[in-house]
Structure 1
Amino acid sequence: MLISYPVKDILTLVKRDSRFNVKLLNDLYFEDSFVDESAHRLVMNCVVNWLYDRGENPDAFVQRIIDRCAAFEAVPARSVLRSYLPYVSLFYATEDVRQLCLDIIPKRYPVMTSSKFLKRSMADGYRKEFFAFRLDSPGVLVTNPMRWFIGLVQLGPILLDTPAYERIEFKSSQTSFIEALENRQNAEMRDDGFIYVSGRQVGKYMTFGDCLSEFDLEWEFEAEKKMACIKALEDVVDEKTGAILIHKGCYYGAPASVVFFDYKANVVAPEPFNKLMSAVVKQEFDSWKPIQRAQNQLLEAMNDSVNIVYYKSDDSISVNNKHLMRNVPARILRNLLREYSATGREEYENREFKRDPSICMDPLRPNFESRLNRVIAHINGSDDPERPTEGVKKFFEIERHRRGGFRFVPKCKIIFREE
């Protein structure tokens, strides 16, 4: 998005929800950061609704992501390479790169549970495979994951210099019929067992067992075969953007998603990792700079930054020109900010600071925990009515989230320097 839209446009996206703060933007940006399920859902659903408001097709947006990633313009190549490292030898030995990409899906994406192939066959040189998976909590990651799943799966072979799959179709989805409409159309459920949209008969109540029978698939849980689903009788298209909301033939509201792959067999890239390795080298020098620049512009546009200065002359730190702390607490924060400014790192170990003689002069009795408590007290400010201090926790905090370590939590862009 940072290289596809002007910062002023992205700003309208991040202003949609107050939870879309600077910390979340940094977590999304830095490849080693963690984004939890609730934040993931917030981002993806905001993006889809933002696109609809702009009159853009979310399916076309996903395709643009695929195209950008295929050229390694919008994906950190180091992160991709790291995710493939356990399987490198397998890809050089395989006779079918694209089939191996599917085989390792359960290992690469553990959020998909009970994933397995229900049927695999070959006809006229094409593989025809039915892959089933569940999301334990449907809708936790994103309201309608279908387009995102297809995009994610298509990227696998493309990143390994292999063509995308010729055909991918959802035959059933855990997404309900109503969720799939994404508030773009209203559905009416009548007593005749059919579903109507704008007066058109577009869906019919059936069972998951009907879906399995239609494609001659086996299923081990008899009770789930009786679960009600809605089979789409025709496509439902968003009138404004052309996005396909409901896909003809798919059973919605199923206990598991079943995806059909139809692709040419035995496609092999002689050197599947050449393109990826070249991208790693290239990104280190120039490809990632425009994205980094756009990220910085976005953070600045949010008008949410803080200037922190460490003064060597009197061993003190100021925040936005206001004195915060001096001596040992100032040195602890200085060391932390040096590392964060250089690498974006947020997790720290107590022992790193205990080894610094400027912070803990007695290695036998470092007493670092009490010194860290003083830093946290300065950041939080004083609640003492006799000596009140404002604190700076609206800009950043330090969390003692586990034994022997702590986390730096930036809440805006941090501008740090030493004088």
Structure 2
Amino acid sequence: MLSNLFLQFTHIELLISYPVKDILTLVKRDSRFNVKMLNDIYFEDSFVDESAHRLVMNNVVSWLYERGENPDTFVQRIIDRCAAFEAVPARSVLRSYLPYVSQFYATEDVRQLCLDIIPKRYPLLNESKFLRRELVDGNRKEYFSFRFDSPGVLVTNPMRWFIGLVQIGPILLNTPAYEHIEFKAAQTSFIEALENRATAEMRDDGFIYVSGIKVGKYMTFGDCLSEYGLEWEVEAETKMACIKAIEDVVDEKTGAVLIHKGCYYGCPASVVFLDYKANVVAPEPFNKLMSAVVKQEFDSWQPIQRAQEQLLDAMNDSVTIIYYKSDDSISVNSKHLMRNVPARILRNLLREYTATGREEYENREFKRDPAICMDPLRPNFESRLNRVIAHINGSDDPDKPTEGVKKFFEIERHRRGGFRFVPKCKIIFREE
């Protein structure tokens, strides 16, 4: 599970820049977008898995292209808003920096410290390290390397998002963005970087062509390392083939730069080069963040909150669940789901969830209820819970097919002796 921080920035930018009716066309692109996911993205202290990151980022990029918009411009707007401290999720940001507050007040270079703590703040980066760090004429020139264990799992082309994430760091701590940052090598393949906006053709001469123009050539990762005078510990990886871009490739409709001249694509790791003025220190690096937290206690966050509520309402993503006392049954959106003991288990769970919002439950709570487990010595609750889950999932039996309700909610047996209720939309529960 990963922090939702950068997804928060992305979602807030959508809520500010686009009307709800337009955002609806984005969230309806994929059935996995639901109220729970949008709330997990929006609210502070939430965590989402890597697949959610990929789902959101890839769909946002595709959606922007369909609208004729440049995704790089979208990311730059996020950076610009941070620079103006406009609509910054200040509490979430402040919490992410809390373990390092004392270091930032003691450091001689805020921006270098921002880079130093990247591996700790962003656990999605693996084997992150600096290959070389130099101080030349008052400027720091640094080569930072990292990799994803499974390239493309996080985002098909994470390059623009990574640069945006790195640039935001110092800005939020009251210091300027890095003067220069660029990828020298990327795990992203040449084809992935094209984002289906252009077609690449490999010819027998060892070069890559786009629209008949020679734009890349086959090299090795070792060639990249040699070009920049960098050392690498794993010799076998230096011999791996990659493609060096010899020309920029620009999307004709949006002006987005898909391929960056000089960058090596399809490498075993990414290498980012930063060139920035050394020893930039903010006397009070957290002042603006603290002010933003205070401001958001009043009215500056209300328009964004209203937009979020309008979006959730417009999705019309809710389910009505009724427990009928007369025949000990439960219906979902007026369709019968289960009766007797399974219905009572779900009823008890929904009573608690709708009253308190609680999602984690212990088996023993239900074992003590005589209406569910009549024999305290042999409660057999686990098999009863299995029946509830089976009703929720529906039957795959072609002779007796039933439609489940797991698009609305699920029950996960994620640990021994307990389970989790997973709502995927607004739950309306009552008893009659």
TM-score band w.r.t. shorter chain: 0.7 to 0.9
SS of the residue 1:407 aligns to: strand
TM (norm. structure 2) is 0.82
Change (3 A) 1:327 1:46: closer
Alignment of 1:71-90 (within 5 A): 71-90=84-103
Residue of structure 2 equivalent to 1:207: 220
Cα distance in 2 for partners of 1:235, 1:253 equals 16
Residue of structure 2 in register with 1:147 after alignment: 160
- How far has the Cα of 1:68 moved from its partner? 2.8
Which segment is superposed worse, 27-36 or 101-110? 27-36
**260-269 or 194-203, which deviates more:** 194-203
**Contact 1:300/1:413, CA 8 A, preserved across alignment:** no
Segments of structure 1 that go 5 or more residues without pairing to the other structure are 384-388
**Is 2:242–2:266's contact at 8 Å kept on the other side of the alignment?**
yes
Residues 167-190 of structure 1: CA deviation (Å, up to 9, x unaligned): 001011111111111111111212
Kindly, what percent of the aligned residue pairs are identical? 78
1:98 alignment partner AA: R
Look up the match of 1:27: 40
User: How many Å separate the matches in 2 of 1:349 and 1:21?
Assistant: 23
What is the letter of the counterpart of residue 305 of structure 1?
S
Residue 350 (structure 1) aligns with: 362
Distance across 1 between alignment mates of 2:431 and 2:172: 42
CA distance in 2, matches of 1:283, 1:308: 36
Q: Where in structure 2 are the equivalents of 1:103-252 lying within 5 Å?
A: 103-252=116-265
**Aligned residue number for residue 335 of structure 1:** 352
Q: Is the 1:329–1:372 Cα contact (8 Å) retained in structure 2?
A: no
Report deviation, 1:207.
Answer: 1.5
Q: Distance in 1 between matches of 2:184 and 2:313?
A: 45
Question: 2: CA distance between counterparts of 1:254 and 1:391?
Answer: 44
Kept in 2, the 8 Å contact 1:132–1:256? The answer is yes
Which residue is 1:17 aligned to?
Answer: 30
Q: Give the distance between the partners of 1:281 and 1:372, measured in 2 at CA.
A: 49
Aligned to 1:286: 299
For residues 63 and 383 of structure 2, the distance between their equivalents in structure 1, rounded to whole angstroms, comes to 46
Letter matched to residue 304 of structure 2: I
* Number of residue equivalences: 407
Give, in angstroms, the shift of residue 256 of structure 1. 1.0
Map of 1:357-368 to 2, 5 A cutoff? none
For residues 306 and 192 of structure 1, the distance between their equivalents in structure 2, rounded to whole angstroms, comes to 60
Counterpart in the other structure of 1:386: none
Find the counterpart in structure 1 of residue 8 from structure 2: none
* Of 8-17 and 142-151, the range deviating more from structure 2: 8-17
Alpha carbons of 1:349 and 1:275: their partners in 2 closer, same or farther (altered >3 Å)?
farther
> TM-score, structure 1 length as denominator?
0.84
What is the SS of the residue equivalent to 2:47?
coil
**1:107 shift after superposition:** 1.2
Q: Which amino acid counterpart does residue 229 of structure 1 have in structure 2?
A: C
Contact 1:350 1:368 in 2 (8 A): no
Change (3 A) 1:194 1:153: same
Q: Any residues of structure 2 matched to 1:39-50 within 5 Å, and which?
A: 39-50=52-63
2:224, 2:264 within 8 Å by CA — same for their partners in 1?
yes
Worse-matched range after superposition: 205-214 or 394-403: 394-403
Distance 1:93 1:33 in 2: 30
Deviations 1:302-323 (A, max 9, x none): 2321356899xxxx99866899
Letter in 1 for 2:139: Y
Matched residues in 2 for 1:222 and 1:247: separation? 26
Q: CA deviation at 1:152?
A: 0.5
**1:68, 1:156 → 2: CA distance?**
13
- Structure 2 unaligned blocks of 5 or more: 1-13, 396-401
